[in-house]
Amino acid sequence: MTVNNMELPGQSILSKGDKQYDYIDSYQMEFIDKKNNISPTEVGKAFFLSGPKWVEKLFALRNTIVGFFGLKTSGNTADRKKQLDNFKCEPGEQLGLFKVFSKTNNEVVLGEDDRHLNFRVSLLLDQLINETDKKTLTITTTVQFNNWFGRIYFLPVRPFHKLIVPAMLKGIIKELEK
């Protein structure tokens, strides 16, 4: 399973308009959709099921630290399974720190706006040309800093982010191919 680093896909919702981002990364992988029925809703749910344990621990540490600064946290994750069962991945829904901002037939955009920065995560499905059961999944993250604290906050996050997203992409693909 090869993860490819790439540019922001032109067909992504995040590339529409004249938004200026302070940070962008995109990672893509191919996968098999045997029944050709995987939708952005399944991808969105897999996003929340696929994180490695070490990522969960980093998020817990992050929540503990940023709570002292009045930033948004993931909240109570004890009922995550029940929350996921009821999660439809529709615009306006919230799961942990991630709000659903938009959804199309092939993409869901999650994220959050906070005092220090705004971030979006696009989960973009794309059918491979001349392939009936092969697709790609591209995860794109964009960040807009709202103040100097956002820039400082993101400095230590950035190197971890470059490790976390490819690991999560592999986990999402594994979850989808079950």
The pLDDT of residue 177 is 87
Taking the C-alpha atoms of residue 21 and residue 91, their distance in angstroms, rounded to an integer, is 22
What is the tally of helices (H) and strands (E) in the chain?
4, 7
Which residues of the chain are under the pLDDT cut of 50? none
pLDDT per residue over 59-101, tens digit each? 666 556 656 666 655 555 556 677 778 889 999 999 887 899 9
The pLDDT of residue 30 is 94
Query: At CB < 8 A and 24+ separation, what contacts does 128-136 make?
Result: 128/30, 132/36, 133/32, 133/33, 133/34, 133/36, 134/30, 134/31, 134/32, 134/33, 135/30, 135/31, 135/32, 135/33, 135/38, 136/28, 136/29, 136/30, 136/31
The pLDDT of residue 62 is 57
Taking the C-alpha atoms of residue 121 and residue 173, their distance in angstroms, rounded to an integer, is 16
The pLDDT of residue 64 is 66
CATH of the domain at 144: 3.30.530
The pLDDT of residue 160 is 84
Taking the C-alpha atoms of residue 20 and residue 5, their distance in angstroms, rounded to an integer, is 20
91 closest CA partner among 107, 79, 78, 80: 107
The pLDDT of residue 45 is 92
Per the structure, how many domains does the chain have? 1
Give me the amino acid identity at 15.
S
The pLDDT of residue 36 is 84
Q: Whole domain around residue 97: which residue ranges?
A: 4-15+22-176
